[in-house]
């Protein structure tokens, strides 16, 4: 069990194949991420970026090697601890049919209306929500309640902020936003990142620029590892 986490992540010799007879998509990967570091992952399509972050989010178990959080093998963590410490945000913003408040509170059913509003405020989602006729009670899928791509992303950031994981995993959307939304989303992201450990599959140059470290993945290997300035 791991009641508390600092967010240190270690991959030791991680090898992965999706099925026993399919090819390896990650080859003996070592990666050490200190607590609080923001790591951007870039690389061409099919390189293994999503696979890498999905292993950390434990969608799959490694085929060989180990992934550790604060020195504890992910396979030894309870689902409760894992979900509390590690959260994945896909920016194709997965919202379910329900109100904005319910969507933000996913994973924190005990959250009060004030907790929800505080999380929205923290990532800068409060302005657009409060401008809606039904505010936090807006049904995200109802006619008139439809949210833009940027707004959906802000709602998913508020959800992650409320969940308060020590490790944040983000698969950034490729879809482009207009300039004002882009700015709001980028600000929301920065606030969400705070001092957490983060691994971001980055498509925006602005995200790469704010990372402490950039990994270039190619053909299942980390081929470059440095600061945004170096790469």
| Residues near ligand ATP (CB under 6 A) | 18, 22, 25, 43, 45-51
Residue 74 CA to residue 61 CA, distance in Å, equals 9
Contact partner at residue 18 from ligand ATP, Mg ion, none, CB < 5 to 8 Å by partner kind: ligand ATP
Phi and psi (nearest 5°) for 172?
Answer: -70, 145
Closest-approach residue to Mg ion (CB): 50
Question: At CA 213, angle to CA 56 and CA 230, rounded to 5?
Answer: 145
Which CB atom, from 24 or from 115, has the smaller least distance to ligand ATP?
24
Size of the site for Mg ion (CB under 5 A): 1
Contact partner at residue 169 from ligand ATP, Mg ion, none, CB < 5 to 8 Å by partner kind: none
Residue 71 CA to residue 120 CA, distance in Å, equals 33
Which CB atom, from 15 or from 50, has the smaller least distance to Mg ion?
50
Which CB atom, from 22 or from 229, has the smaller least distance to ligand ATP?
22
In the bound complex, what is the minimum distance in angstroms from residue 41's beta carbon to ligand ATP? Answer: 8
Q: Which helix (H) or strand (E) covers residue 226, if one does?
A: strand 221-226
In the bound complex, what is the minimum distance in angstroms from residue 163's beta carbon to Mg ion? Answer: 22
In the bound complex, what is the minimum distance in angstroms from residue 27's beta carbon to Mg ion? Answer: 17
Which CB atom, from 126 or from 172, has the smaller least distance to Mg ion?
172
Binding to Mg ion by CB under 5 A, coded x per residue (else -) over 94-133, reads: ----------------------------------------
Question: At CA 13, angle to CA 7 and CA 14, rounded to 5?
Answer: 70
Helix (H) and strand (E) counts in the chain: 8, 10
- Which region among 44-52, 66-74, 125-133, 187-195 touches Mg ion (by CB under 5 A)? 44-52
Which CB atom, from 23 or from 144, has the smaller least distance to ligand ATP?
23
Taking the CA of residue 175 as centre, how many other CA atoms within 13 Å lie in the half-sphere pointing to its CB? 12
**Contact call for residues 204 and 29 (beta carbons, < 8 A):** no
Which CB atom, from 51 or from 197, has the smaller least distance to ligand ATP?
51
Alpha-carbon dihedral of residues 117, 111, 165, 1, nearest 10 degrees? 170
Residue 50 interacts with Mg ion (CB under 5 A)? yes
Contact partner at residue 48 from Mg ion, ligand ATP, none, CB < 5 to 8 Å by partner kind: ligand ATP
Q: Per-residue b/e over 191-209, b at no fewer than 16 CB within 10 Å?
A: ebbeebbbbbbbbbeebbe
Contact partner at residue 117 from Mg ion, ligand ATP, none, CB < 5 to 8 Å by partner kind: none
Residues β-bridged to residue 224 = 216
Binding site for Mg ion (CB under 5 A): 50
């Amino acid at each position: 069990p791991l009641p508390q986490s600092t967010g240190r992540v270690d991959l030791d010799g991680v090898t992965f194949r999706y099925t026993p007879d399919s090819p390896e998509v990650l080859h003996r990967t070592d990666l050490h991420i200190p607590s609080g570091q923001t790591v951007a992952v870039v690389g061409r399509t099919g390189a293994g970026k999503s696979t890498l972050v999905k292993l950390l989010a434990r969608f799959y178990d490694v085929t060989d090697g180990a992934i550790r959080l604060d020195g504890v093998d992910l396979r030894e963590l309870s689902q409760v601890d894992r979900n509390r410490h590690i959260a994945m945000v896909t920016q194709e913003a997965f919202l379910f049919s329900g109100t904005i408040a319910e969507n933000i509170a996913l994973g924190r059913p005990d959250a009060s209306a004030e907790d929800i509003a505080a999380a929205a405020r923290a990532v800068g989602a409060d302005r657009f929500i409060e401008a809606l006729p039904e505010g936090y009670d807006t049904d995200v899928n109802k006619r008139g309640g439809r949210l833009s791509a940027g707004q959906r992303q802000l709602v998913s950031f508020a959800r992650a902020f409320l969940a308060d994981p020590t490790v944040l995993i983000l698969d950034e959307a490729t879809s482009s936003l207009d300039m004002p939304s882009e700015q709001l989303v980028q600000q929301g992201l920065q606030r969400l990142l705070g001092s957490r450990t983060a691994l971001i599959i980055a498509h925006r140059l602005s995200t790469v620029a704010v990372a402490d470290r950039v990994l270039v993945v190619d053909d299942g290997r980390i081929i470059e590892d440095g600061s945004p300035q170096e790469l």
